[in-house]
Amino acid sequence: MSVLAERPARAKQRRAGMSLRPTATLTLLCLLAALAGCALIALTVGAAGIPMARLPAALGLWVDGVANPLLARDELVVWSIRIPRIAAAAMVGGLLALSGTIMQGLFRNPLADPALVGVSSGGAFAAAAAIVFTDSQLGESLRFLQHQLLPIAAFAGSLVTTIVLYGIASRGGRTSIAIFLLAGLAIAAIANAGIGLVVFVADDRQLRDITFWMLGSLSGATWTKLTALAPVLAAALIACLWIARGLDVLVLGDAEAFHSGVDVERLKRISIVLVSAMTGVAVSVCGVVGFVGIVVPHLLRLVIGPGHRLLLPASALLGAILLVGADTVARTIVAPAEMPIGILTAAIGGPFFLAMLLRQRGLVSI
Amino acid sequence: MTALLEAQSVSMRVGGAALVDAVSLQIGAGEMVAIVGPNGAGKSTLLRMLSGDLRPSRGTIRLRQRDLSAYGPRELAQHRAMLSQHVNVTFPFTVEEIVSMGAGESPRAVTRALVTAALDEVGLAHFRFRQLPTLSGGEQQRAHFARVLVQLACGEALHGPGLLLLDEPTSSLDLRHQIDLVETARRRAARGTAVIAILHDLNLAMRFADRILLLHRGRLAVDGDRAAAMQADTLRQIFEIDATIDYTASGVPFLLPQTMRPAGKAT
């Protein structure tokens, strides 16, 4: 009886489990196609609309017979504004989603996020402080460097936050994830208090700059900033291939991962450095954009499962899609003005986070 | 015969208290050893030291005549496999994915064959594609045991019979699966694997182990065969129970607790 009875049962299990998950190639191809589609739409819409028909000419691909009086303007908009901005959105989205995914793997908790443990706040605080400092009498000599100084300050702030966090949470070569998370919350509070203080002493113009950092925007994206993003993203993607198996096995817990042959401490160190570098460089380009790192991996796990070998590259792609989409909405919804993208991601991500929290309550301990 | 695993005067002290105090032991290939003892006797701490997870505050542990601390995590995983007491998986990995983690970087076909064999052995073949967190505690424990069996098989293919450490592997299992699990471990021992298991069920320990290590307050009170461990006086002193020890037809001792008295009170 058992052989006959088991066959349909096994087939059912197969349908219910494995076979519903799309293959890696299909997943990545679909995401790449979606990203290309999003980017194409983003190229055409905006304050200066460029219809699809004029796009190839503006991109310099081919010129149709009809002379286009707006060609020069289109070219300028596409090459100097839209492409750097879309590329920055894609890269920042990829970086934020990747760092969220890695941090969740590290914490074995789908609710962990760099913004949650103060890494983003640390960067924003340093940026806000740099704005006020370079305007003060003390920092007068550095004022001409203000534009270069901001991204560096944000990056340094994120890095310092992570190093301090790691220093607090790590003792004798072992890292306590619980302390890391709690210390992160405390550091986020301190950084936010710092930001509050800076806001208090800032004048009107400085306040506008600081608000930009706090709310997040991609309007400052330039080719130069892309050169900061690209190498970090490339290095992170390569490193991800290397740490993917370790992050999978880490789900079993530190001790069990060690028993399975993973150098847990090294994995944690690499992950923490990666997360801080990725968050730092993302904050330095567009300020604080939250929730991408929480929403993206969660959605993907539902479809492709939790294996990091596919989850990491897929997160980078979906993060890119999400931010390109969000940025396009942010710069068109209240055109000709622009809505800060951080407001948009928080407005969507906040309720999503709460929904996850409610769904998890009672299912697993958070 | 040289010992596969050898601990010399191993201690673990935390803040002045000795969790494990000067324990020495040797385990040879093909031996099946049960560690028994009351709660807080230092069983899990000893096992974690033997696995390389905890470094002893004093004493040395040698695996295949080489100091345990000289092994890197990956290399060590090829020589010993260990099943921890509680493993909590939060992400929705399937049983197959979890069991495959035991195979490390092995080729996909090899991993698949090993996973199939291990799942058959623990009786979970029909749950292969189910998400692990949806299974019962006992089923999850068996899935983790299958993972450890896969790891052991991968290591033994490279280096010959290895070491299998089990920390209360039967704690969530029903009677049938307790026996299944211990018999699986015995089969590994028959092929040369050295097995060390912490067991709370003394009858199970006596039935299946070649040797019993009885820990009491961090010290090794008894290291011998079941006859040596199962003395009424010893049990009264260490477990604070009065028990009758009887023997099955095949000469295996079994224990029937009679009366129990509150800890620390002499009668």
Average pLDDT over residues A190-216: 85
Q: CB of A110 within 8 Å of any CB in chain B?
A: yes
- Those of residues 303-342 in A touching chain B at CB distance below 8 A are 305-307
Residue numbers of A between 231 and 260 with CB closer than 8 Å to B: 245, 248-249, 251-253, 255-256, 258-260
Identify the closest residue of chain A to B150 by CA–CA distance. A260
A146: confidence class by pLDDT, cuts 50, 70, 90:
low
The bridge status of strand B219-224 relative to strand B211-216 is antiparallel
pLDDT tens digits along A39-70: 999 988 877 777 777 777 777 776 665 667 77
Question: What does the pLDDT read at residue A362?
Answer: 52
A chain contacts of residue B51, beta-carbon cutoff 8 Å? 259
Q: Is A260's CB within 8 Å of B94's CB?
A: no
Q: Minimal CA–CA distance to B146: which of B56, B200, B81, B71? A: B81
Which pLDDT band, with edges at 50, 70 and 90, does A175 fall under? low
Mean pLDDT of A8-12: 50
For A80-97, the pLDDT digits (tens) are 889 999 999 999 999 999
DSSP letter string over A213-276? HHH---TT--HHHHHHHHHHHHHHHHHHHHHHHHHHHHTT-HHHHHHTT--HHHHHHHHHHHHH
Asked if B91 lies within 8 A of A264 by C-beta distance, the reply is no
Dihedral angle sign, alpha carbons of residues B133, B134, B138, B143: negative
**Residue A348 pLDDT greater than 50, yes or no:** yes
Distance between CA atoms of residues B234 and B252, nearest Å:
18
Q: Which residues constitute the domain of residue A202?
A: 68-360
Q: What are the tens digits of pLDDT across the range B11-52? A: 999 888 889 999 999 999 999 999 999 998 999 999 999 999
One of 1.10.510.10, 3.40.50.970, 3.40.50.300, 3.50.50.60 is the CATH number of B5-229, namely: 3.40.50.300
The verdict on residue A52 lying in a domain is no
Low-confidence ranges of chain B (pLDDT < 70): 1, 259-267
Backbone φ and ψ for B256, nearest 5 degrees, come out as -125, 105
- Structural domain includes residue A350: yes
**Where residue A356 sits, what CATH number does that domain have?**
1.10.3470.10
Q: What is the mean pLDDT of chain A?
A: 82
Evaluate whether B225 touches B211 at the Cβ level (below 8 Å): yes
Structure tokens at A2: 């058992």
Tell me, what's the ipTM?
0.91
Question: Do the Cβ atoms of B254 and B246 come closer than 8 Å?
Answer: yes
pLDDT for residue B1: 58
Residue A353 CA to residue A331 CA, distance in Å, equals 24
Nearest to A249 by CA among B101, B117, B217, B111: B101
User: Does residue B206 contact residue B252 with C-beta atoms inside 8 Å?
Assistant: yes
Rounded-to-integer distance, Cα B7 and Cα B21, Å: 12
The answer to whether residue A20 scores a pLDDT higher than 80 is no
Of A14, A18, A256, the CB nearest to B87: A256
How many folded domains does chain A comprise? Answer: 1
Give contacts of A263 with chain B, Cβ < 8 Å: 72-74
Distance between CA B178 and CA A158 in Å, rounded? 51
Count the helix, strand and coil residues of chain A and give each as a percent rounded to the nearest 5.
75, 0, 20
Tokens representing residue A1 in the block? 């009886």
Residue A162 lies in a domain: yes
Pairing of strands B163-167, B80-83: parallel
- For residue A174, name the pLDDT band (cuts at 50, 70, 90): low
Which of A19, A110, A252 has the CB atom closest to B87's CB atom? Answer: A252
Percent of chain A topping pLDDT 90: 28
Element (H or E) spanning B100, and its range? Answer: helix B95-100
CA angle A311, A123, A106 (to 5 degrees): 30
Give all strands of the β-sheet with B163-167 in edge-to-edge order: B80-83, B163-167, B194-198, B32-36, B211-216, B219-224
* Burial call B120-145: b when 16+ CB within 10 Å, e when fewer: ebbebbebbbbbbeebeeebbbbbbb
Please tell me the distance from the alpha carbon of residue B89 to that of residue A186, in angstroms, as a whole number.
Answer: 27
Interchain CB contact of B257 with A (< 8 Å): no
Q: What is the pLDDT of residue A365?
A: 43
Distance from CA of A356 to the nearest CA of B (A): 14
Cβ separation B90–A251 shorter than 8 A? yes
Cβ within 8 Å, pair A13-B101: no
Residue numbers of A between 172 and 231 with CB closer than 8 Å to B:
none
